[in-house]
Structure 1
């Protein structure tokens, strides 16, 4: 994109600020309702902590798998129809189905609505794709970092709002508020962002959104990095099911633990935001592979002892330490993916990363629900620790610290 004159400069800054608001509001919206799904499921007639965990896992799996399939399809459409349209589709489409989830009368309806919502959603990837087209290349690094900050801040604020709202107005209200916030961000993008999009020349060639994945997987070190992306998301999302159920057990089975859940999830989001910044800077100094090794070991050390927690504040502190260590995995792996990926194939490379991310989002809740349903809530901490330790062993034996010869900040 060519920018000329102060008007264009002013316009891209306005567009970027609007995108930042869209990303922030959407992140707040999703986290207003997200942490309370296991509790809402029980309100819909599912009795017992373990049964709620199983249904939460099914719901998360359906959503994650659907998003994994849909993401490359929407990406191909964006290249032909425009990226701004995809932001509108993701936000307004998700708003409709999120609000519908608040009207569900049974858990089966909730699963179907979540699956449909995942097919039309993908707000974060849509926003970043649009940002890459409206922002000058000289400012793209700053812009992407700022959008990540918007996500972290929104994910921090959302659970606090949702927790107190659910305590006062019930769980259904959180889905309605999510729908309002998502729709507002979509309409803001529609009316305030100006995309200079030129449709590609008409062609009879068939679009193949899944092409190129095989080439990416043949790159040395790439399968390991995609595994890190998937496992890091699975490890993080498995806790989203376990935390409210563990808090419920601590409260003697009382289902009204929404405020405590919102507080714990909000504090872990703060730890995630801070940890990502620290690990990112350290990776530039000592190497990304070494940071991956350190994050995995510290995550194991932090998660396993939480089997012994006896109070909400002990759980909150343990989760903050664990999340701060886990926070380095995803950004570090994505930095390595960009560094070792084939030149000129950035879209395909990060498309593969997006699919791995969605699969992790699906597998985490599914496996967590099954594990809790069979062995109870506390086993989650040991199970996640074993998986992360296994990933550490795999990376330690298959990925050399010398795989990256240039520090991240030198890549243009």
Structure 2
């Protein structure tokens, strides 16, 4: 590589931090925005869930296409495309006064999004193989750090200037991340003369890799778990007796608790995973996350709630970075952009379904019971990782081509030819 992967990691960390900050400034308070600014007074839980989910459905449908383009033309163009597009769409949200128009903008945000997954894919494909797990863990702290500062900024902005003004700040911040990506991100040169793969062929190739399919399913479960609760937390805070005037600020503090825990623990989980195996870290994270969610059933005040969310985050910090590190182990480098694109589709489908189902459950059940359902689901996922031997599946696949991982297409062609001669 003709550039420092550490420098690239630092630049992308800043870009993802800014992009995540821009997202979490306004999105966690969407239910309040729908109620106070767009006039949604009935079925607020369902409206909140649908407004969350519709963007992720659009993103899930389009992600394999963006992944295919990324493997042919590079991940940096995907960063630039998504960054500037999101900046424009956040700005448009500031002027929206109709909830149905707001839904249309959310669809466009889903279709044009992809800054964070493109950054992860770029790190995964432009970092030395032995450093990939550590680099991905570090990248997870950038999103977590954004999720810390974003809700706090958004809470203050919403409290003093109104919910609508938060979109202006989101637009400016994501615009800065797009500029940083344009000027400073470096990527290994790609052979752009090669034909672009078809999404149908990519799906077929992914389907033949059982370990990768298992990891995609686990990605879906984990993201579904997070998003099942996210649109309900501000409403849950109101149920605890928080005044409506301070709900945005208090919710911002609670949202930040998980992010603080992730920043503290994710690099540590990454180092432990490099020694003990990422499958073990995945199991511990799911087990701790499940128990932490169930315990949130018993809280009666927002301070207790924030503490439990922090404890939940300490364990959950190791989950998604471990999945990403395992994906690197079971996929070849020239397929990795498409692999992360397909994994992003699984993530976005789950992220779409989570808020919708969470909104429906919140409309028919006390919200505290949704925490129990969520916790049991994570415990079941953790037990599946343990009993099905996910780490063993990953090891079996990665040993099929240990020296092929990380090589270019021509390098692998020469290696395969040498193998046939033997």
TM-score by length of 1: 0.86
Kept in 1: contact 2:290–2:379 (CA 8 A): yes
2:292 aligned partner? 302
For the residues of structure 2 that align with 1:385 and 1:22, how far apart are their CA atoms? Answer: 32
Alignment of 1:68-217 (within 5 A): 68-130=60-122, 144-193=136-185, 200-201=192-193, 207-217=197-207
1:24 aligned partner? 17
For the residues of structure 1 that align with 2:124 and 2:213, how far apart are their CA atoms? Answer: 26
1:39 aligned partner? 32
Cα 1:112–1:280 shift into 2, 3 Å: same
What secondary structure, in the 3-state scheme, does the structure 2 residue paired with 1:46 have? Answer: coil
The 10-residue stretch of structure 1 (34-43 or 102-111) with the greater mean CA deviation from structure 2: 102-111
TM-score by length of 2: 0.84
Is 1:321 equivalent to 2:314 in the alignment? no
Q: 1:200-253 CA deviation, whole Å, 9 max, x = no partner?
A: 22x7x6741342223323333333322211111111122221211111122366
For the residues of structure 1 that align with 2:367 and 2:70, how far apart are their CA atoms? Answer: 42
Deviation at 1:160, TM superposition (A): 1.0
Kept in 2: contact 1:95–1:182 (CA 8 A): yes
Alignment of 1:256-267 (within 5 A): 256-267=246-257
Matched residues, number: 399
Cα 1:239–1:277 shift into 2, 3 Å: farther
Is 1:356 equivalent to 2:336 in the alignment? no
Q: 1:91-142 CA deviation, whole Å, 9 max, x = no partner?
A: 1101111122222212222211111011111111233445567777787666
Q: 1:305-350 CA deviation, whole Å, 9 max, x = no partner?
A: 2122111101101111122222222122222233234676333333
For the residues of structure 2 that align with 1:400 and 1:84, how far apart are their CA atoms? Answer: 32
For the residues of structure 1 that align with 2:166 and 2:34, how far apart are their CA atoms? Answer: 13
What 5-or-longer segments of structure 1 have no aligned partner?
Answer: none
What secondary structure, in the 3-state scheme, does the structure 2 residue paired with 1:306 have? Answer: helix
For the residues of structure 1 that align with 2:164 and 2:170, how far apart are their CA atoms? Answer: 10
Deviation at 1:148, TM superposition (A): 3.1
Kept in 1: contact 2:55–2:106 (CA 8 A): yes
Q: 1:171-194 CA deviation, whole Å, 9 max, x = no partner?
A: 111111101111122233334456
The 10-residue stretch of structure 1 (360-369 or 330-339) with the greater mean CA deviation from structure 2: 330-339
For the residues of structure 2 that align with 1:216 and 1:394, how far apart are their CA atoms? Answer: 21
The 10-residue stretch of structure 1 (370-379 or 388-397) with the greater mean CA deviation from structure 2: 388-397
For the residues of structure 1 that align with 2:384 and 2:6, how far apart are their CA atoms? Answer: 44
Is 1:366 equivalent to 2:361 in the alignment? no
Give the root-mean-square deviation of aligned CA atoms: 3.0
Cα 1:346–1:47 shift into 2, 3 Å: same
Deviation at 1:27, TM superposition (A): 1.6
Question: Which of 315, 319, 328 is equivalent to 1:338?
Answer: 328
Cα 1:347–1:247 shift into 2, 3 Å: same
Q: 1:359-380 CA deviation, whole Å, 9 max, x = no partner?
A: 2211221111111012132221
Cα 1:19–1:111 shift into 2, 3 Å: same
Q: 1:372-405 CA deviation, whole Å, 9 max, x = no partner?
A: 0121322211120222233234334433654455
